[in-house]
């Protein structure tokens, strides 16, 4: 089977994996010398996947390196475009070898990583975090505190609406922590355990792609003063290494390392 025939077979596999709202469109002509380009669109999203065959002369080059992958949207600004470019580079780096070993690297990469992403970027509005009124009979001030922390990971964290909701929710609950944007997404917060449990319930209700609660626990070694001075402060980080450094400063880097994030590779 020629290389072009192998690629054509993988495109058929991708087409067979599409949802009814999705469509694969070949944007290149079918002459033997033309470079293959195609895009995957969804009626439910303003985002699309674009795959472009690049010039290559090295016959030993991997299949995935012969293609350029892009995430596009008519509503995307420059900052978000750079974030998606980083996401693509990290996905190829982290999962490219595994995809090549299947013998169907192009279809494997698209089906396992890009299609789930497209399906998560629907036009359904993100939940808007609103301040919640105090429950009747609830004391104005809490008299007991149990310091703790929570850690989530997700497939990615890029959409401005998601990031805005994290800032609003952490401020509403008086938590301190960070959101690591890009791929993978990481969410960490410290505060009172009751507030962390409410934070966890709210975040899980957003149903982000591959969202996983890694840790939610009280920290017997911590005291209220450890985070009270930073209360409500939420940071955005761009790299896994920055997330590890953040946690290292508070002697909690093991929370990431124990789940395989930041230890030479990451699991989302």
- The verdict on residue 39 lying in a domain is yes
Mean per-residue pLDDT, 13-34: 88
Do residue 165 and residue 88 come from a single domain?
no
Beta bridge partner(s), residue 52: 37, 68
Beta strand segments in 30-168, E: 37-42, 47-53, 67-73, 147-154
Do residue 26 and residue 93 come from a single domain?
yes
Encoded tokens for 94: 């982290």
Domain with 20 in it? 3-120
pLDDT in tens, 227-249: 666 655 899 998 889 999 999 99
Do residue 161 and residue 230 come from a single domain?
yes
- The verdict on residue 167 lying in a domain is yes
Do residue 158 and residue 248 come from a single domain?
yes
Do residue 112 and residue 11 come from a single domain?
yes
Do residue 157 and residue 113 come from a single domain?
no
Do residue 116 and residue 18 come from a single domain?
yes
- The verdict on residue 137 lying in a domain is no
Q: Global pTM?
A: 0.62
How far, in Å, CA of 179 to CA of 96, rounded? 26
In this model, does residue 41 exceed pLDDT 90? yes
Helix (H) or strand (E) holding 242: helix 240-249
Do residue 101 and residue 186 come from a single domain?
no
- The verdict on residue 130 lying in a domain is no
User: Between 83 and 130, where is the model more confident?
Assistant: 83
Encoded tokens for 177: 């922590």
- The verdict on residue 27 lying in a domain is yes
Q: Per the structure, how many domains does the chain have?
A: 2
Do residue 248 and residue 152 come from a single domain?
yes
User: Between 254 and 159, where is the model more confident?
Assistant: 254
In this model, does residue 46 exceed pLDDT 50? yes
């Amino acid at each position: 089977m020629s290389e072009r025939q192998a690629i054509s077979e993988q495109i058929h596999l991708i087409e067979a994996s599409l949802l009814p709202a999705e469509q694969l469109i070949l944007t290149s002509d079918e002459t033997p010398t033309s470079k293959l380009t195609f895009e995957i669109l969804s009626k439910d999203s303003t985002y699309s996947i674009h795959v472009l065959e690049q010039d290559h002369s090295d016959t030993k080059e991997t299949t995935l390196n012969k293609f350029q992958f892009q995430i596009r949207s008519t509503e995307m600004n420059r900052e978000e475009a750079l974030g998606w470019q980083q996401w693509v580079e990290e996905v190829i780096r982290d999962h490219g070898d595994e995809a090549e070993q299947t013998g169907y690297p192009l279809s494997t990469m698209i089906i396992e990583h890009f299609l789930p992403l497209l399906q998560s970027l629907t036009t359904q509005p993100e939940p808007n975090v609103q301040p919640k009124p105090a429950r009747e009979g609830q004391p104005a001030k809490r008299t007991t505190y149990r310091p703790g922390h929570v850690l989530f990971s997700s497939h990615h964290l890029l959409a401005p609406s998601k990031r805005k909701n994290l800032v609003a929710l952490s401020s509403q609950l008086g938590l301190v922590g960070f959101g690591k944007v890009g791929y993978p997404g990481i969410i960490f917060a410290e505060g009172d355990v009751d507030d962390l449990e409410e934070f966890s319930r709210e975040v899980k209700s957003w149903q982000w792609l591959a969202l996983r609660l890694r840790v939610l626990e009280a920290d017997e070694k911590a005291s209220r003063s450890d985070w009270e001075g930073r209360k409500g402060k939420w940071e955005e980080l761009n790299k896994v290494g920055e997330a590890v450094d953040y946690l290292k400063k508070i002697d909690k880097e093991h929370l990431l390392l124990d789940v395989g994030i930041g230890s030479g590779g990451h699991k989302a």
